[in-house]
Structure formats: C-alpha cells, structure tokens
Amino acid sequence: MFREDEESMKRSKKEQIIAEVADKFSRAKGLFFADFTGNSVEEINELRREFRKSGIEYRVVKNTLALKALETVTGYDRVGEKLVGPTAIAFSYHDPVTPAKIIKRFREKHEKLTVKVCVLENQIYDGSKLNELARLPSRAEIVASILGSIQAPVSGIVGAIAAVTRGLVNVVSAIKKDKSA
C-alpha cells in the first residue's frame, strides 16, 4: 500500500514538473539548453546570478522530463535529439538574445559550459551558433535605436525653429541698432 502511494506521488510530481516546463517552453522567447559539466557550484551560482539580474530563469531538468514537456510544444522536434547528458535550460521570457550574451561572457571567463541547442522566437539553432546569436542586438538596444531614429527628426525641427528664432532676434537687434544710431 505504502509503495503504491509513493509511486503515485513520484508520478504526480513528475507530471507536475512536465507541465511546468511545458508552460515555460510555450511562454519563452529564448531557450538555451546547456551542459554544465565541469563547472563548479560557485561558477554556476555566478551564472544564475547574472541570469536573475536580467530576468532569465535557469533550471536543471532531467532529459526525460524535458523531452516529455517538449512533446507538448509543437515545432521543437530537433531540440530533443540534442538532449544527451546533464542539461540546464535558460528561459528568457522578454528578450531572446540576452541569455546568449550572458552565456558568451560566462564562457569567455570559464570555458566549460557547452551550449547544446538554442531556440529564439521558435527558430532552432545549433549550440555552435552562440557567438553569432550573442552579436544580435538585444530588445533594449533595438528599442533605443528606434527611439533615437524617431527623436532625430524632432531634434532637427527644434534646431531649425531655434535657428529661425535666432535669425529673427538678430534682425530685430540690427534694426534696433540702425534706428538708435
């Protein structure tokens, strides 16, 4: 009796994890599957802190559970074949590129983290493409660029109006000087 309850609890816990991970897969704009073998606990904690600062969730998931969660999300068939050995997943819900930048910096310092596969906006990339993905502009950089482009014409108009105003003031000053002379 006790064994059946224990099995049921284990199954229930696994089903819960699968459902949670599947939900994360469906909401994430960026997914990075990595092998953390060879990194110390201190190094991984450093990576977790960097992820946390940027609102990225990092979680170690058993491959069997990750595969079952992937089955519920369409279009991720090729991801499953890369899940061999220990796997940690970085989930980015806002900016798909930021995890690539963080992982690249981390690897420059520690060199042991291996990226298996990346998913950005439902597009699957081999882990070897990390450096190229890290060079993409982040969402914040794109927004800043767009705002700069929008503000440029406005500042040009303000400058033109100021120039006309300065010219008018100079003309009025010149007329005033002529009349007082």
| Beta strands, E only, 12-150 | 30-35, 56-60, 88-92, 114-120, 123-126
Q: What is the pLDDT of residue 181?
A: 61
Q: What is the pLDDT of residue 48?
A: 92
pTM for this structure?
0.71
Q: What is the pLDDT of residue 68?
A: 87
Q: What is the pLDDT of residue 58?
A: 93
> Can you tell me whether residue 141 is helix, strand or coil?
helix
Q: What is the pLDDT of residue 32?
A: 92
Fold assignment, 2-136:
Alpha-Beta Plaits (3.30.70)
Locate the domains of the chain by residue range: 2-136, 137-181
Q: What is the pLDDT of residue 92?
A: 92
Q: What is the pLDDT of residue 140?
A: 64
Closest C-alpha to 25, from 115, 103, 117: 117
- Mean pLDDT per 10-residue interval, the chain, length 181 residues: 60 86 88 88 91 91 88 75 86 89 88 84 81 71 65 61 59 61 61
The count of C-alpha atoms lying within 13 angstroms of the C-alpha of 61, restricted to the half-sphere facing its C-beta, is 31
Q: What is the pLDDT of residue 37?
A: 85
The count of C-alpha atoms lying within 13 angstroms of the C-alpha of 120, restricted to the half-sphere facing its C-beta, is 19
